[in-house]
Amino acid sequence: MGLGEEVFSIVSKAKVYDLGQPYWWGMPVHPADPPFLFFLYRYHEHTKDLFQSVAPGFADSISLIVTSMHAGTHIDLPIHMSRNLKVMGHDVTKYETDKGYSNLPEGLLTMDALPPLVLRGVLFDVPKAKKLDILPERYEITPTDLEEALSKEGAELKGGDCVLVRTGYSRFFRTDREKYLHDFAGLGAAAAKWLVDRGAKVVAVDNLAAGVPKPFEVHNIVLSDNGRLMMKSINLEELSKDEKWVTTVFILPLKIVGGEASLVRPIAIG
């Protein structure tokens, strides 16, 4: 049996968890960002005559989207955020163009250079560790909270892991736009630093903006100061329900030339 067959044999016995949220007109996005727009650009009845000479009876439809790369479930590169216009010590303004980033210095990437990620995923189920279903509104997760979650799960965080932080607020993504946008719990700055100091490669959170009470500070710590990656608006409810503390996470971003982020549909297998 070859390695491919062995891998498939193992994976086929595991459960696949969809960590992505859906995209639709009116979905919650950051108030400073443009809305997600989806159009059915071409209808079947519009193309029946167009293709008649080459394929009688054939027709098709084509859709298009207009969106920022930060709508719904997405992944951020370090160049998404800066501190005093610097990312990992580099003046990021030198590399910006209307068509994206170019000629970045060594150590900084655009989306087309980020490979598909297959990582060990560790779930930090903070509410469950506190015997709660969901954290209180605007709750700031601390390093102690993270340590307690790991201890109760019997899990271990290793360098290069994808950290999956559950607050419980993903349930409001489809049902309560205002609550999802404004009331979420999230990582405090000290908790974000605790994660990157222990080697987390990706910090993923099931809320809109990761951090509480200062979401941009959490972004700066993870992205521009330490060069790690972030995912936001992920769905961790099934992982929590099944108590899958450690899984294999697959993240396949779009290869957007010059991009600082990408919509993504991550999965976990375990």
Q: CATH number for the domain including 150?
A: 3.50.30.50
Q: Give the span between the Cα atoms of 248 and 118, in whole angstroms.
A: 7
Shared domain for 167 and 56, answered yes or no, is: no
**Which strand (E) or helix (H) includes residue 241?**
helix 237-242
Examine the domain organization and report whether 96 and 121 are in the same domain: yes
Domain around 49:
37-66
User: 159 with 43, same domain?
Assistant: no
Q: What is the residue type of 25?
A: W
Question: Same structural domain for residues 264 and 216?
Answer: yes
* Nearest-angstrom CA–CA distance, 116 and 129: 31
**In whole numbers, what is the pLDDT of the chain averaged over residues?**
97
Same domain, 109 and 238: yes
State the pTM of this model.
Answer: 0.96
Q: Could you report the per-residue pLDDT of 189-244, keeping only the tens digit for each?
A: 999 999 999 999 999 999 999 999 998 999 999 999 999 999 999 999 999 999 99
Would you state the structure tokens that stand for residue 56, as one six-digit string? 């009688």
For the chain, residues with pLDDT lower than 50 are: none
The helix or strand, by DSSP H or E, that contains position 163, with its residue range, turns out to be strand 162-166
Could you tell me if residue 19 is inside a domain? no
Residues 101, 60 within the same domain: no
Q: Report CA-CA distances (Å) from 217 to 9, 90, 91, 187, 191.
A: 43, 18, 18, 10, 11
- How many residues does the structure list for the chain? 270
Residue 5 lies in a domain: no
Beta strands in 33-135 (DSSP E): 37-42, 62-66, 74-76, 86-87, 90-91, 96-97, 100-101, 117-125
